A = this chain, B = another copy of it.
């Protein structure tokens, strides 16, 4: 996807150190603009994402490198990478394979809206988590 030599990769000095090694990454559907999820990358996840064109994150709960979709098959194919003014947040525009980013089976992790009732689920559920991940 992104043709980039080693020097180019080094030139983009994201501020991992300032943020304790992890930067927040927003994944957005490249076609619809829907915000799908927020996750974190360390330097290794960033490099793997650049190398493979598939979104890799650092799982804070499992404390390991995580190819998004490695269990579910719902890989995120990276179409565009953007960085913010402070070089401490990444925005990935992705094609979400399987149609759902959330481990609860919704298209987006932001499947709940805050309103006068508290939280209202209005996101679209694409799969049943039990069928994909088991019990």
Contact = CB atoms under 8 A, between A and B. Distances in A.
A76 interface: no
Nearest to A34: B33
A43 to B, nearest CB: 15
Interface size class of A (residues with CB under 8 A): 35 or more
Interface in A32-67: 32-35, 37-38, 50
A33 B106 CA distance: 19
A116 B4 contact: yes
Given A84-B109, A106-B85, A2 B115 contact: yes
Interface of A: 2-4, 8, 11-12, 24, 26, 28, 32-35, 37-38, 50, 80-86, 89, 91, 102-104, 106, 109-119
